[in-house]
Amino acid sequence: MKKKFLRIIYITILFAFFAGFEIYKNSGTRVIEVFSPTQFAVDLNSNGVYDEGETVCIQGIETFTSDLKVNQNDLMKKFNLSQADSINAGYMADEFAKELLLGKRVKISFKPERTSDCRYAEIFAGEINYTEELLNSGHAIIDGKLTEPELFREKLNYARKLNLVILNRKSGKFHKLDCRYGVKTSDFLILPMQEAELQFEKCKYCIVNPEKSQKLKEKEAPTLDKSSYPESKDIEGIKFLLSDYTNHLTPDTKCLHPFCKETVKLINNTNSTLDMAVYEWSRIPEIEKAIENAKKKGVQIRIVYEVKENQPPREEMNDFLNTIENKRSDEITENKKLTSMLMHNKFIISDKKRLMTGSMNFSRTGFSGFNANNIVIIDSPALSEYYTKEFDQMYSGKFHTLKNPLDSTNTFTVGATKVSAYFSPQDKTVEKALVPLIENAQSYIYLPVFVITHKKLTQALIDAKKRGVDVKIILDATSVRSNHTTHEILREAGIPLKTENYAGKVHNKSMIIDDKYVITGSMNFSNSGENRNDENCLVIENSDLAKFYKGWFEFIWKKIPETYLKYSVRPESRYSIGSCYDGVDNDFDGKIDFNDDGCK
């Protein structure tokens, strides 16, 4: 009897041990893919596949990676590394992350911060805190400095000895790390040459005949003009900001550009009321922190925002709106025609005395300077009150053609500058304000614009050209695909028109006339911009400002090759500088970077 009792106890303990082991083995969630040393796919729902919302990132740390689709130009420049060595360093960092995490069950401790792509978290593999291991690994970069520089160099030298190559898994050929055929590969693997030689074919240019490869490289390598143009101009009561987008080839959420910094400053200096007309929204931590601080100060925040017909707001917009009590969308219940029109404004009114407006969307492509935009911040209670009246119309539910013209003067004096404000669709801005300015131009009209489809404006430009005015246009590459674009009509009339060839968009909606006028705002030069959508447009009369903006136009004009006076660049292609490495769907076809045919 005693032996039987002991046997039962033994079996029970053994069963409990194995059950506990299984529970331990299956606890946590599995890392199913390592994108980079700071970005991972984790199987949060335990279905064995990578689903949306299962990307986890390490916050505040940068590293190199061997992922050819990631633009590492800034890090390469900072540490004076060649493209080959950036891949060498990235390979070692990726292998470190894979060894610690890939396929392992981990515990995830999520942080409140997140981006559109990632949820920030701490990752624990058993007793190991991955962030601490990464900081001590020689791969981590914080605030532009390596945490373990000696260890970094040691591992880089080790990677060089491996003689790494790029395997094109589609063609079965492998290439040196600086081979132009290798770095453009979309389906790739980085591995030591000794392994590649066992079963794959050598690239005939960079390995079999490297002399020929060098000649091709020298002949075909594009020359990137890294010169820059100042991005802000202060005059009395007005700060004008623009983006030299030729030097901001990837968007980010770091709030390093003056667009973002000045917006944060505007919000932080607000004490009582903050009214915002928002077309797009991205999670920019510094912006959202400023808004949270404003709420803590007791600032009354109101939002009017764009919503697409039969579509909920995008996730990042929706998350933001959930933090705002006073908000109003432009949806007009049971009126599809009105709801299909856009609330396209992008302006902020601070304390009813300071206004920020322009072409920039409140998004990562806007705040980072990736797109060419301009914004203007104006200290003027009178102008701010005028914009507040327009905002109040929308906030009360009057959008688009339901709005009324404002019953007060639309022209204001700010220091020595005259500023006139117009709103769409009620003011018929193109016909009543812009066409007369074009008709009275004497010397030049320069237009950095996203799109031109408005026929009366097009004809006014052609007429100005005929009477001897110097008319030049820089047009965004995506807009030549519009069904109603008039760019070919303008070219046929002899007007020099260049389509730009950079990753970001020329998103400006602007004109510079005769060293006298700057026209800017949210309104595209289109029929919808004038007659359907909610828009705002400023005519600023100031010589210093006009000359400054003209200088920017001439600077960008010189950077765009003369070829594009005749031909148009495919927005996502190797001819559009940076577009194959920016992580953005530049031509709106659902394909990004090397998944797009233009980049292959």
Active site residues per annotation: 507, 509, 514
Contact yes or no for 236/414 (Cβ under 8 A): yes
- From residue 572, give the alpha-carbon distance in Å to each of 68, 593, 600: 17, 7, 10
| Contacts of residue 370, Cβ cutoff 8 Å, sequence gap at least 6 | 243, 245, 248, 249, 250, 251, 252, 364, 503, 504, 582, 584
- Best CA proximity match to 508, nearest among 557, 448, 438, 454: 448
Q: Using CA atoms, how far apart are residues 119 and 362, in angstroms rounded to an integer?
A: 21
CA 469, CA 476: separation in Å to the nearest integer? 23
Spell out a b/e string for 366-380, using b for 16 or more CB atoms within 10 Å of the CB, else e.
Answer: bbbbbbbbbbbbbbb
d(C-alpha 85, C-alpha 83), whole Å: 6
CA angle 525, 399, 448 (to 5 degrees): 20
From the list 3, 103, 97, 100, the residue with the least C-alpha distance to 48 is: 103
Taking the C-alpha atoms of residue 369 and residue 533, their distance in angstroms, rounded to an integer, is 25
Residue of 276, 287, 398 whose CA lies nearest to 348: 276
Q: State both tokens at 368.
A: 């980072």
Q: Phi and psi for 201 in degrees, rounded to 5? A: -95, 140
> Is the bond preceding 425 in cis, omega lying within 30 degrees of 0?
yes
Helix (H/G/I), strand (E/B), else coil: 391: helix
Torsion-angle region of residue 237: left (phi > 0), alpha (psi -120 to 50) or beta?
A: left
Q: List strand residue ranges (DSSP E) for 141-217, in order.
A: 141-142, 145-146, 164-168, 173-175, 188-192, 201-202
Report the distance separating Cα 596 and Cα 574, nearest Å: 11
- Residue 529 φ then ψ, to 5°: -60, -35
Among 264, 509, 275, 293, which residue's Cα sits nearest to residue 367? 264
Distance CA 63, CA 581 (A): 17
The distance of Cα 70 from the centroid of its chain, to the nearest Å, equals: 14
Burial of 364 (0-12, 13-18, 19+ CB in 10 A): buried
Q: How far apart are CA 377 and CA 477, in angstroms?
A: 28
Identify the residue whose tokens are 């998004």. Answer: 363
Q: Which residue has the tokens 């299909």?
A: 340
**Helix, strand or coil, per DSSP, at residue 17:** helix
80-110 in b/e form (b: 16+ CB < 10 A) is ebeebbbbbbbbbbbbbbbebbeebbbebee
